[in-house]
Every structure is written in structure tokens, then in C-alpha cells.
Copies of this chain bind each other. A is one copy, B any other.
């Protein structure tokens, strides 16, 4: 996204570190201030939220070679709405807030990188909203398997149904329906 000298890259990476999580471990709790972004080297993470009636919703998945965080809470410094949970044993690189801010200020094109990243994730959410308006749950199910390759073989179906905003029973039904 930007040009970066090897020196700069090393200086940034020296501010990050590796961390491991067991299956079902919580990387990031809701109601907390968020000071870390994660890059997934191995594993799967789901982002969940509880509504007022206590129901749990899966808002997002993240797999290998993707960044994940409650980026909104990271930006706004408000309490996190989401909980990040490892679905498989997971290995991440932790990018602490201090390191990221160092990057914005000290890398030659740091602010530009920050803009391009924020723009990238904006476009991701904007596409999601477009799809929520224009696609059926089954179409979004298929799309999801493109975006997160093969995810339906790594994640229980009820979490996928939750992500789609429908019940697992209903997802089972529409998948069966497609065959006929």
C-alpha cells in the first residue's frame, strides 16, 4: 500500500510480538478499552456480540493472514462492543496501539498507510451492508464461503447461521431446499 524501507519495517515489527490462544480462548473482551490489533498467522477467530435480551450474535469471522480487532473501539477509545474468541487453536501477532501510533507518526508514509487501511475496512463494511440489502441468506452463505475460503468446514453451522442472521434450523432448511 505504501513504500516502506526495510529499516522501517524492522523498527515497526520490533514493537510487535507473537501470542498463542487455545481453542475457545478469549482474545479480547467486550466492555474493555481496546489497545491491540491482531494479525492471524494460524487459526480462526469469531467476533461476537450480545443483544439486550442475552442472545448471542456472530458478527464476523477472521482467518489466516487477516487482521482482526474491534477496530471501532480501537479508534474511538470507547468500550468494546465485541468479544473476540478463538474457534481453533490460534497464533497471532499482536500490534500494540503504541506501535501503531508510532507508525503513523514516524514512518515516512505512516499517515497515508493509516488512511488506506481505514478506507479499506470502510469498503469492506460498505459491501457487507450492500449485501445485507440485496442478497438472500443463501446467497450470503455462498458469498461467505468465497470470502472465508472453506469456512463451513471449520466452523459449526450454528455460528454461520448466527452470522447470517437466521436460525440454524432455517439454514439447514434452505440448504436442503437448494438441492430440489
Q: Which residues of A contact B (CB under 8 A)?
A: 49-52, 57, 59, 71-72, 75-76, 81, 104, 109, 111-112, 114-115, 118-119, 121-123, 125-130, 132-135, 165
Contacts and interface: CB of A to CB of B under 8 A. Distances in A.
Given A72-B122, A81-B130, A115-B118, 17 more contacts: A51-B133, A57-B134, A59-B129, A59-B133, A71-B122, A71-B126, A72-B123, A76-B123, A104-B112, A104-B115, A111-B111, A111-B115, A114-B115, A115-B115, A121-B122, A128-B129, A132-B132
Given A111-B112, A114-B115, A118-B115, A165 B133 contact: yes
Contacts of A114: 111-112, 115
* Copies of this protein chain in the complex: 2
Nearest to A51: B134
Contacts of A126: 71-72, 125
Contacts of A165: 132-133
A71 B129 CA distance: 13
B125 A129 contact: yes
